[in-house]
Structures are given as structure tokens and as C-alpha cells.
Amino acid sequence: MSLFDFDRAIVRAPGRSVTDGLRTGDHDGPSYDGVAAEHAAYVAALESAGLTVEILPPLEAFPDSMFVEDPALLFGQGAILLRPGAPSRIGEAELLRPTLKRHFPELIEIKDGFADGGDILVTADKVMIGLSDRTDIRGAQSVARGLGRLGIRAQLVETPSDVLHFKTACAMLDEETVAVTAELDSAEYFGDLRRLRIPEGEEAAANLLRLNDVVLIGAEFPRTRELVEALGLATMPLAVAEIGKIDAGLSCMSLRWKSAKEQ
């Protein structure tokens, strides 16, 4: 499967309720204007990378619904409708259904357990599904069966207990290299893949996002950016301070795929 070859994306505009989004720790939430500005810059970055972006309207009843990666998983050959593990997000997938049905002839629905897209990492030869507080074993196994219907191999792994989502702490940079925080810097997770260790203090940079030939990365993580550029990759820094207050990163805000007719 192609890891970084994308021409389409779906995003959802943030609602004003985003200020009440889920977050860990005792800190202030984001401002709506701050999130809206970061989201607009993100959409512009997707378009700059060559993607056609469909922007869905905000859902005020679901404060976290701008993070569209969690309720679905997309490939050129089909889509999987997931079941987010947070009770306040369980209705988001159903509201994505009409949009996904317009784009994908095959829509597989997970009906057993819970699974967040933030726990699902696509590599060159398989899809890794991290078990976490948001993705349980039944949900992960359901996702694995759905992937099997699409001809894709799955591997279940344990997400460290202090990591919210598996992809909070890792992201693919090329087909042989994965960016990781200290918690995931182990061959037990990634086998023969080359691991690029995120510098201490910049752990939130691990949720970076490569689109075609450019890597989107948080603007406040200069050391990580230097390491990525040392691999010969172009980077595009984006503000993530406000979305970071609700435990989100760059991959969370879009669903991306290569349309089948172009493959």
C-alpha cells in the first residue's frame, strides 16, 4: 500500500463547543478563535500539499468532532467506520456515514468493541492497532477483520499506559522510518523499521503528518524539525498550541486517501 500518496481529504470545521473538548491533566482549554485559526491553516496546508479538501460543517453536540480521524479509517479500496472509545464521541461515526458512502463503494462498519483511528498506524506492509483506553481488544479485533476484507494485514500492539493514543507517540516518515517518543523506541514495536527518536521535551511532535512529499510538523518543535529535514524531507511548520490543549495533533484533523481512479 502507498503510505503517503494522497489526493483527497475530509475535515470537519470546529464548533464553538470545541472549548469543551476532552483533555487530560489540569489545564485551561483552548480558545475557539485559536482552534479555528489553526484549523484553517491546516486546511491550507493540505491543499498546498496537493489534496482536494472537503470541509464538513461543525457539530456543536460533539466538541471533539473536528478530529475526524478517530471515527473512520480510509483506503483507496474502501473505508472502515470505527467506534470511538470516549462515550461523548460515540455518535460521531454515524454522522460521517453519508459522506463516506458518497466516496467509497465499500463501507465496513465496526459494531463490536471500541476503536479510535488515533490508535491505528499504517505502515508499508501492515496496519498496527494499538490497544489503549480508547481502543479495546474487541474493537481492535473487529478492525483487524475489516482490514482483512480489504486485503490488508493487521497487528495488535499494547499502547503504553501513559500514552493516550498509539499515534500520540509515533508517525511514519518514510516506508522504512518511524518517528517515536521514548515510550515506543523499541524493536518490540517496530521490528526492523528505522526509528527516529523525538527529542526530550518535544514529545508532542511525534504526531506529525507526511502528505506526499512534505511533512507537517508542529511549529514549536524545532529540534524535531531539524531531525526530519536531516533525512532529506521537506517540512511545513504549523501552529498546534491550541489543539494541543485538547490532546490532539496533526493527523487527528483529517481523513486522507488516494482516490481509486488515480491509483
Q: Which residues does the annotation mark as catalytic?
A: 165, 252
Task: Tell me the C-alpha distance between 53 and 110, whole Å.
Answer: 25
- First CA to last CA across the chain, in angstroms? 10
Which residues contact residue 181 at a Cβ distance below 8 angstroms, ignoring those fewer than 6 apart? 163, 169, 170, 197, 198, 203, 206
Torsion of CA 126, 74, 49, 175, to 10 degrees: 0
Report the distance separating Cα 4 and Cα 210, nearest Å: 6
CA 20 – CA 86 distance, rounded (Å): 14
Other C-beta atoms within 10 Å of 198: how many?
27
For residue 262, the tally of other CB atoms under 10 A from its CB is 9
Whether the Cβ atoms of residue 143 and residue 111 lie closer than 8 Å to each other = no
